[in-house]
């Protein structure tokens, strides 16, 4: 990665940003703005529009007009595909600029951000662009005097509300299939990670998305997000974020037009290491990255480490060493392994979890503290807490920070009981050389994804979604189209 170019991008002032509504850059209806604080140094980076409910309503109205007059949904699939492919190419051409802007806004280390943000977003948009003209209807096997046709139609106006941890990647998981399907979108980025996503959406306009097809409204979740979720004219709400917000969205749907609500929520994912794991050094290294990269702000983070008792001490020692080897600090240094915590609020929350565990007598083996405070930024040392009881809050609630809770187990059944013993069901991992055990564990763990002898890792071809209170529906893969395409039957008497 070109450090000189990164440094020159980081030195550039960031111009204030506004909504994109009906293809036009617009301020908030009441002129309100909010400071964008960089987690790298705690300083104001720029201002952005503080959206109002009226702005959200205007954006929904623009999306509705764009959908109803067919300026996008009515195009030949090949024409939509050409626009989306151009957009993917523009994102790639501007990848470093997008990545650095995003890092200054949300704190993710640049090495990871570059791949996981613009490059992955471009790949996702290209994946759905290439898929969109391979979707066929069906002819039903009816009796011969009837023709039963099953059409697939775009659902209409999509409200998309996304979090701060991977704005471009997660944004593209919604925008790619929604726009490919022919829907119009109103997008609400997170308060603390709007800049790069707005810029990516501007590139979408440059690529040829017609006005009103992709609208972006910035501001507070409780105002803009709430107005989108309560709108009578949004057909589908797709969301990634926390459980409490997900619950509010379902309530808002019930109160308004009963729009479908698809939720990708948090996790408390178990990373289970058996004594027969093929390579304990590799397992320790990958497990450390699985919880500490992006300072633990990863929905699938392996935040509970379940270790077979016979190797507990030896494995935990390796893991602590791996944690202490991680280079923390400046997210714009490509050598950094984990950057900043997104906000002071999140940092305080992380520290409070550790303090509570400590007060209950749990052992903090490394970390547990704020570091690099002199930078003004929000950094936390990778933290390993041992002797955790599966019922502890640190083992039940999502911290969403660089905090690992270690729990020993004796048998496969006990590991399963602990693994499944939370409200969540997003991700998991099993480390074992025993193929039968690996398959047994995959079947018995209740989660959307179970990794075997690795942690994390996926691509656009596989779905991601949670069970239990980790959510419903899936992002990624062709299955994601199911949220954005309705089935319609034509029953024709011959």
Active site members: 264, 299
From 29-37, 95-103, 162-170, 288-296, span contacting ligand NAD (CB under 6 A):
162-170
For ligand NAD, the closer of residues 386 and 394 by Cβ is 394
What is the C-alpha end-to-end distance of the chain, expressed in Å? 64
Q: CB of 22 within 8 A of CB of 212?
A: yes
Site for ligand NAD in 233-262 (CB under 6 A): 240-242, 245, 248
> Is 226 one of the binding residues for ligand NAD (CB under 6 A)?
yes
Min separation Cβ 164 and ligand NAD, Å: 5
Q: Distance (Å, rounded) from C-alpha 107 to C-alpha 359?
A: 30
For ligand NAD, the closer of residues 161 and 311 by Cβ is 161
From 71-79, 206-214, 225-233, 380-388, span contacting ligand NAD (CB under 6 A):
225-233
> Is 290 one of the binding residues for ligand NAD (CB under 6 A)?
no
Binding map of ligand NAD across residues 353-382, x = CB under 6 A, - = no contact: ------------------------------
> Is 28 one of the binding residues for ligand NAD (CB under 6 A)?
no
> Is 67 one of the binding residues for ligand NAD (CB under 6 A)?
no
> Is 128 one of the binding residues for ligand NAD (CB under 6 A)?
no
Here the tokens at position 402 are 């660089």
> Is 476 one of the binding residues for ligand NAD (CB under 6 A)?
no
Q: Distance (Å, rounded) from C-alpha 401 to C-alpha 391?
A: 19
From 79-87, 108-116, 158-166, 405-413, span contacting ligand NAD (CB under 6 A):
158-166
> Is 111 one of the binding residues for ligand NAD (CB under 6 A)?
no
Q: Distance (Å, rounded) from C-alpha 300 to C-alpha 166?
A: 12
Residues 105, 235, 308, 398: which binds ligand NAD (CB under 6 A)? 398
From the CA atom positions of the chain, what is the Rg in Å? Answer: 23
Q: Distance (Å, rounded) from C-alpha 474 to C-alpha 263?
A: 9
Residues 21, 113, 190, 203: which binds ligand NAD (CB under 6 A)? 190
| CB proximity list for 58: less than 8 A, separation 6 or greater | 21, 22, 29
Residues 102, 167, 171, 266: which binds ligand NAD (CB under 6 A)? 266
For ligand NAD, the closer of residues 408 and 448 by Cβ is 448
From 40-48, 161-169, 276-284, 404-412, span contacting ligand NAD (CB under 6 A):
161-169
Number of residues that bind ligand NAD (CB under 6 A): 30
For ligand NAD, the closer of residues 219 and 377 by Cβ is 219
Min separation Cβ 62 and ligand NAD, Å: 19
> Is 349 one of the binding residues for ligand NAD (CB under 6 A)?
no
Q: CB of 81 within 8 A of CB of 132?
A: yes
Q: Find, among 384, 349, 56, 66, the residue nearest to 225 by Cα.
A: 56
Site for ligand NAD in 400-419 (CB under 6 A): 400
Residues 126, 188, 451, 474: which binds ligand NAD (CB under 6 A)? 188
Residues 320, 471, 474, 476: which binds ligand NAD (CB under 6 A)? 471
Residues 36, 56, 161, 340: which binds ligand NAD (CB under 6 A)? 161
Q: Distance (Å, rounded) from C-alpha 294 to C-alpha 298?
A: 7
From 36-44, 176-184, 223-231, 317-325, span contacting ligand NAD (CB under 6 A):
223-231
Min separation Cβ 213 and ligand NAD, Å: 20
- Phi, psi torsion values for 357, nearest 5 degrees: -65, -40
Residues 299, 305, 403, 429: which binds ligand NAD (CB under 6 A)? 299
Contacts with ligand NAD by CB under 6 A lie at 161-165, 170, 188, 190-191, 221-222, 225-226, 229, 240-242, 245, 248, 264-267, 299, 398, 400, 426, 464, 466, 471
């Amino acid at each position: 990665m070109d450090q000189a170019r990164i440094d020159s991008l980081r030195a550039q002032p960031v111009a204030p940003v506004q909504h994109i509504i009906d293809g036009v850059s617009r301020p908030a209806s009441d002129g309100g703005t909010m400071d964008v604080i960089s987690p790298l140094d705690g300083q104001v980076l720029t201002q952005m529009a503080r959206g109002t409910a009226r702005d959200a309503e205007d954006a929904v109205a623009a999306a509705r007009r764009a959908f109803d007059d067919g300026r996008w949904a009515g195009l030949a699939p090949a024409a939509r595909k050409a626009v989306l492919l151009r957009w993917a190419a523009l994102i790639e051409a501007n990848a470093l600029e997008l990545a650095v802007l995003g890092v200054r806004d949300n704190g993710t280390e640049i090495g990871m951000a570059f791949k996981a943000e613009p490059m992955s977003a471009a790949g996702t948009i290209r994946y759905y662009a290439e898929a969109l003209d391979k979707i066929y209807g069906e002819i039903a096997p009816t009796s011969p005097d009837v023709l039963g046709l099953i059409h697939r139609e775009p659902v209409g106006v999509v409200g998309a509300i996304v979090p701060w941890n991977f704005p471009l990647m997660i944004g593209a998981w919604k925008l790619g299939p929604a726009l490919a399907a022919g829907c119009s979108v109103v997008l609400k980025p997170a308060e603390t990670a709007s800049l790069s996503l707005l810029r990516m959406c501007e590139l979408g306009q440059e690529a040829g998305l017609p006005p009103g097809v992709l609208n972006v409204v910035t501001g507070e979740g409780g105002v803009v997000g709430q107005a989108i979720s309560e709108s009578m004219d949004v057909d589908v709400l797709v969301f990634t974020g926390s459980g409490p917000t997900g619950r509010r969205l379902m309530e808002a749907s019930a109160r308004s037009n009963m729009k479908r609500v698809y939720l990708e929520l948090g996790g408390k994912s178990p990373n289970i290491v058996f004594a027969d794991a093929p390579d304990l050094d590799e397992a320790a290294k990958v497990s450390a990255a699985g919880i500490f990269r992006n300072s633990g702000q990863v929905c699938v983070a392996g935040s509970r480490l379940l270790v077979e008792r016979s190797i507990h001490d030896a494995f935990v020692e390796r893991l602590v060493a791996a944690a202490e080897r991680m280079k923390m600090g400046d997210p714009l240094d490509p050598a950094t392994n984990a950057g900043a915590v997104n906000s002071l609020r999140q940092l305080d929350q992380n520290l409070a979890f550790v303090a509570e565990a400590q007060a209950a007598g749990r052992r903090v083996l490394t970390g547990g503290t704020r570091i690099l405070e002199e930078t003004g930024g929000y950094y936390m040392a990778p933290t390993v807490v041992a002797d955790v009881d599966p019922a502890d809050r640190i083992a039940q609630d999502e911290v969403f920070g660089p905090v690992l809770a270690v729990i020993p187990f004796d048998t496969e059944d006990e590991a399963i009981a602990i693994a499944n013993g939370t409200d969540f069901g997003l991700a998991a991992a099993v480390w074992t050389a025993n193929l039968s055990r690996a398959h047994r564990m995959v079947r018995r763990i209740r989660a959307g994804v179970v990794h075997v002898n690795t942690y994390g890792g996926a691509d656009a071809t596989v779905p991601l979604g949670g069970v239990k209170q980790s959510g419903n529906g899936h992002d990624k893969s062709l299955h994601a189209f199911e949220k954005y395409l309705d089935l319609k039957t034509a029953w024709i008497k011959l």
